[in-house]
Amino acid sequence: MNPDNPPTAPAENRPVAPEALREQYESGATVDELVTASGLSYGTVLNRLHDAGIEMRTSWQTRRMRQDPQARQRLAAHLRTLYEEHGATLAELAAAAGETRRGARRLLIEAGGTVRTTQLTLRMRSAARAAERHKLALSLRARYEAGATVPELSKDCNYSVATVYRLQPSSEPTVGRMGDIDPALAGQPLTTRVGAFDVVLEFPKFEGRFPAQGYVSWSGTHVSAPTALSPAYFTAHVTFPLDPSLDEPAVQAEVKAAIAVLRFAAARLSDALRVEQPSVGMVGDIPKMLSLTAQDVTRGLALSVPEPLTPGYPVVRGLPTLTIDSATTALNDGASPARALLSQARYLTQSTNSPQPGMATLLAAVAAETYAKETLRSARAPGSCPSLRSLQDTHGSAVALYGPIAHTVIGRSLENDDPDLWSNLVSLFTARNRMAHKLKTPAHPDAARLVVTAMRSMDWLTACAS
């Protein structure tokens, strides 16, 4: 029997979505009003609000919200501007709004803002400080070129630091390894911007006669008009302002950052020489530092330098020992090409004072791809269909060797077994492609993480295929 008017399901069983309750609550409705409107019990409404991620407000907050909704909207929009454009924290928003952190967070979300991580806030503030420092540097440079002296400029920013770095242009301090430069480069300042710093690099001046300070030899028919000069060193320096209120650790941190920038710029100038003259050294190696000084040019005081002339690197312990089997295999068959490439990548990020993050990333990606092809090919029965090459053509990307292709061949997928490691592996091949197509080199810490990702992915595939 089918009655014309079937009984209505109890209110408690009606499908009321948590998101619908959330929208009404964020618009100002109370829990009691939601209970009346939905027919649900008080406990059910609370549970569904919690499921929707709602932070409950007090009764006085609801009254305040209802008293002047337009004022609340303006306040929320203002807080969002402070948060997104000026890098304010939730604590600072709470102070500006006279709210709790939770209340400030709710207002931010109401204005369409998205809460970010603490690390992202720090990066935003660092970028803002760098932009301000760049703006100040441009202003000081314009005034300097107009005739102002360094002491005059120093009075405006109260404190200035000059850092000078003297380096050898070739990998080894022998005449046979020295590079040759065009005489027009002698004494010619070369400027480049690295982060928030303007770096000036310069080969020694040449006065048209030998012996000449800073040069070991010359080429040409006459010393007064040489066709090439062989410099013994070049210099790199940077001048930047510091707030006089900074304590000694903060000053040391800024000087250390400037030294890192000088090393980076010096390596690039040396690379320009090495690309043209490979005999003088390996591209990417940081040239040897001969001297390093830092000075408060406002007061003429020497500052302590927080970096050694020759930077060190951490000692890696706990690595596998060489076994008889490994030694015998290497002697008979040679080292595995993929493992050899990975070892080079690890060395370039972990065990050298001249890290090469770009080269390490390329080597790690090639190692991971090569190893996957070798391992999956050996696990695939001859004549299997589809072939490994066919699977690669179907999926296209190299990272698929550890995902859908591995699943087809060995029944396991890194994407399913370890989603975090899979995500990092995707980042490795993305970084490889950005280097190959856009010349975008990852930072050293990022490259080190990507190299470890390649190693762990290869170890995962070994365990699955064995």
CATH number at residue 443: 1.20.120
The answer to whether residue 310 sits within a structural domain is no
Q: Are residues 146 and 28 in the same domain?
A: no
The answer to whether residue 314 sits within a structural domain is no
The answer to whether residue 442 sits within a structural domain is yes
pLDDT at position 418 is 93
Q: Are residues 152 and 196 in the same domain?
A: yes
Which is nearest to 44 in space by CA: 15, 1, 77? 15
The answer to whether residue 189 sits within a structural domain is yes
Range of the domain at 252: 134-302
| 229, 206 Cβ separation under 8 angstroms | yes
Cα distance between residue 307 and residue 289, in whole Å: 11
Which is nearest to 462 in space by CA: 403, 401, 375, 380? 375
Cα distance between residue 68 and residue 88, in whole Å: 25
When divided into structural domains, the chain yields a total of 3
How many other β-carbons are positioned within 10 Å of the β-carbon of residue 8?
A: 9
The answer to whether residue 161 sits within a structural domain is yes
The answer to whether residue 4 sits within a structural domain is no
Q: Are residues 255 and 165 in the same domain?
A: yes
Q: Are residues 147 and 212 in the same domain?
A: yes
The answer to whether residue 79 sits within a structural domain is yes
Cα distance between residue 21 and residue 289, in whole Å: 66
The answer to whether residue 74 sits within a structural domain is yes
| 254, 161 Cβ separation under 8 angstroms | yes
Instruction: State pTM to two decimals.
Output: 0.51
pLDDT at position 459 is 93
Cα distance between residue 413 and residue 115, in whole Å: 33
Q: Are residues 344 and 424 in the same domain?
A: yes
Q: Are residues 113 and 142 in the same domain?
A: no
Q: Which residues contact 282 (CB under 8 A, 6 or more apart)?
A: 171, 274
Q: Are residues 114 and 142 in the same domain?
A: no
Q: What are phi and psi of 236, to 5 degrees?
A: -135, 135
Per-residue pLDDT of the chain (466 residues; tens, 9 = 90+): 333 443 333 344 445 677 778 877 777 677 877 787 777 888 888 888 887 777 777 766 666 665 566 767 777 887 888 888 777 888 887 776 666 778 788 888 888 888 888 777 777 777 776 676 667 666 766 776 677 665 565 555 554 566 665 666 655 444 445 688 899 999 899 988 888 788 889 999 998 888 888 888 888 888 888 998 988 888 888 887 777 777 778 778 888 888 888 888 888 888 888 888 887 777 777 777 788 887 776 666 677 776 666 666 666 667 778 888 888 888 888 888 999 999 999 988 888 877 888 889 999 999 999 999 888 888 877 767 777 777 777 777 889 999 888 988 889 999 999 999 999 999 999 999 888 887 777 888 889 999 999 999 999 999 988 7
pLDDT at position 15 is 57
Q: What is the 3-state secondary structure (H, E, C) of the chain?
A: CCCCCCCCCCHHHCCCCHHHHHHHHHCCCCHHHHHHHHCCCHHHHHHHHHHCCCCCCCHHHHHHHHHCHHHHHHHHHHHHHHHHHCCCCHHHHHHHHCCCHHHHHHHHHHCCCCCCCHHHHHHHHHHHHHHHHHHHHHHHHHHHHCCCCHHHHHHHHCCEEEEEEEECCCCCCCHHHCCCECHHHECCCEEEEECCEEEEEEECCCCCCCCCCCEEEEECCCCCCCCEEEECCEEEEEEEECCCCCCHHHHHHHHHHHHHHHHHHHHHHHHHHHHHCHHHCCCCCCCCEEEEEEEECCCCEECCCCCCCCCCCCCCCCCCCCCHHHHHHHHHHCCCHHHHHHHHHHHHHHCCCCCCHHHHHHHHHHHHHHHHHHHHHHHCCCCCCCCHHHHHHHHCCHHHHHCHHHHHHHCCCHHHHCHHHHHHHHHHHHHHHHHHHHCCCCCHHHHHHHHHHHHHHHHHHHHHHC
pLDDT at position 13 is 45
Q: Are residues 281 and 141 in the same domain?
A: yes
Q: Are residues 141 and 290 in the same domain?
A: yes
**Which residue among 88, 118, 148 closes a domain?**
118
pLDDT at position 10 is 39
Burial of 364 (0-12, 13-18, 19+ CB in 10 A): buried
